[in-house]
Amino acid sequence: MILKGGTRYYDTPVGVLCLDSLFPKPRGHLRNPLTFGFPVVTRVITGVDVPRLLFNPTPDLLEPFVQAARELEADGVRAVTGSCGFMARFQGQIARELKVPVLLSSLVQLPLLRLLHGENAVIGVLTASAAALTPELFAACGSDKDAVRTLRIQGMDEQPEFRETILENKRHDFDLDRLEQEIVGTAEAFARTRALDALLLECTDLSAFAEPIQKATGIPVYDICGLVEYAACAVCRRKWDQR
């Protein structure tokens, strides 16, 4: 049997475009190597951190992301995702450049969630920053203005541990217990006061807390990690022994 070569990575379902950040990535985070049961490789966009992408997204940002995505594809990954939901702004451009599936943001799931839960369901989006989550980002992921108007949106902007470490990049260490309390508490209050039927986590930094969020809210919780599992299944099917 001849194995085809010519790439850096083999049997690698997913490559991750990453922002330049040094805060911890606990298990359950897209960038933690123990999160998935399959190989994932990362490519850091040097010099582009969370504040830069969210609050100062100038047009010159696109090319470094496109180039890194091309490199991941050339290196052998079979799907490309992103470490920040606000990479949604590049979804269309990068998907056009690659032959492998591109899922840069959990926001690409919203049209599917509307189908899954029905037109009358109340769907919430928990985001890193409600102010930065513009209609253009939803449009880039296939949700039109009418669909966005039916959503409920809650940001983590006012939570100090989250804001200082993730949004403002003031320090690299965070108090894990305090961060979990902020995230789960915000999600629980959001689901209760807005009577949500389902919750989508826009921010990849929320995924590590998806289980306690679901336990606290009692509703379906969707995030980037579930989407990555879905894509990995599509590009690397498991072989079943039928004998």
Separation between Cα atoms, residue 96 and residue 196, nearest integer Å: 34
Q: Cα angle vertex 149, ends 164, 185, to 5°?
A: 35
**Contact call for residues 22 and 172 (beta carbons, < 8 A):** yes
Predicted TM-score (pTM) of this structure:
0.95
The answer to whether 45 and 201 have CB atoms below 8 angstroms apart is no
How far, rounded to the nearest angstrom, does the alpha carbon of residue 35 sit from its chain's CA centroid? 13
Q: What is the pLDDT of residue 238?
A: 87
What's the CA gap between 238 and 53, in Å, rounded? 36
Mean pLDDT computed over every residue of the chain:
95
CB contact at 8 A, 68 and 90: no
Strands 198-201 and 221-222, sheet pairing: parallel
pLDDT in tens, 69-86: 999 999 999 999 999 999
pLDDT at 9: 87
Decide if pLDDT at 182 tops 90: yes
Tell me what pLDDT residue 128 has.
97
